[in-house]
Amino acid sequence: MLINQHRVRNVSDTRAQLSTILDNAQQGYTTHISRDGQIAAHVVPPNALVHRGNEFAIMMSATIDSCAHWITNDATATGFHQAGDPIGIVFGWLWRADRHKAMDWLAVYTDTLTGIFEGRSYARPPFAPLWRALRIALGASLDSEEILEFEAFMREHLQDQITPFTLDELAGRERPRGDNDPWPDTAPTGKGWIKKRWRDVVVGDFVPNPDNAYQLNVGDENWCRVITLTESEATVQRVDGSHTTVALADAGSHWVPFQSDTPYRWDSFARRN
């Protein structure tokens, strides 16, 4: 529970003010009772929504599932932007109430998200662009100083949970990638895109311009539309209308960032050319 320091009473004050505390509770105010410098109990309004069984877990699981599907769909379309205000509000509330519980449920969120990605044959979500999206979402409930505290605590304690992330990622370093994963997880701005294998790309998807030598750039003009696909090669259209061919190594098993929606300014760039 979030503690309002203005409504903390020690045991002696509670005894002396019990009638007033009960009146305040009926008016909707919570009082926190401290003993030996620690919060020992709370006097809450009679209609307070106190969970007694697994109600909280059910509500959290439903929220996490919904929000994990939302960010997956959003990032599929246009890349990782923000994780959504609802998940930011929930984790902000958890952080203020119990930061260790916030880490417990953050691990559930990342596990749920990873399961969704795997079900769609996407590469597992990298930490850097996901945290960037969550950091923006946390702004719906936490101030900038609290978000910095959240990040520092998370980088130290999330490794104690079962998560898909490497220690390098949690420490702010790049995720180790294999030879079949040549594109970085993020552009210099920190934004990232979901990756899938070339064999799962479909005509109409947008992929990074192969002329960029595996350097991700945020600009919409740096993406190409896939116009034809075979088992061994893909033909993509640059923003200037020209075409180039991408050889698909190892039966298209290499990972490539993609977005299913047309980049916002891509058509306008194309018309200029």
Query: How confident is the model at residue 130, as a pLDDT?
Result: 96
Farthest-apart Cα atoms in the chain, separation:
82
Residue the block writes with tokens 């200029």: 272
Give residue 172's identity as a one-letter amino acid code: G
Give yes or no for a contact between 92 and 85, defined as CB atoms under 8 angstroms apart.
no
Query: How confident is the model at residue 43, as a pLDDT?
Result: 85
Alpha helices in the chain (DSSP H): 11-16, 18-26, 55-78, 85-97, 99-119, 127-138, 144-157, 167-170, 266-272
Q: Which two tokens stand for residue 211?
A: 């002329």
Give residue 113's identity as a one-letter amino acid code: L
196 phi and psi, to 5 degrees?
-140, 165
Query: What are the pLDDT tens digits along the chain (273 aa)?
Result: 677 788 889 988 889 898 888 888 888 888 889 898 888 888 888 877 677 778 999 999 999 999 999 999 999 999 999 999 999 999 999 999 899 999 999 999 999 999 999 999 999 999 999 999 999 999 999 999 999 999 999 999 999 998 999 999 999 998 889 999 999 999 999 999 999 999 999 999 999 999 998 999 888 889 999 999 998 999 999 999 999 999 998 879 999 999 999 998 888 766 665
Tallying the residues shown for the chain, one arrives at: 273
The Cβ of residue 215 has, within 10 Å, a number of other Cβ atoms equal to 13
pTM: 0.86
* Sheet strand arrangement including 243-247: 206-208, 223-229, 233-237, 243-247
Query: How confident is the model at residue 270, as a pLDDT?
Result: 65
Query: How confident is the model at residue 180, as a pLDDT?
Result: 94
Give residue 209's identity as a one-letter amino acid code: N
CA distance 43 to 148: 32
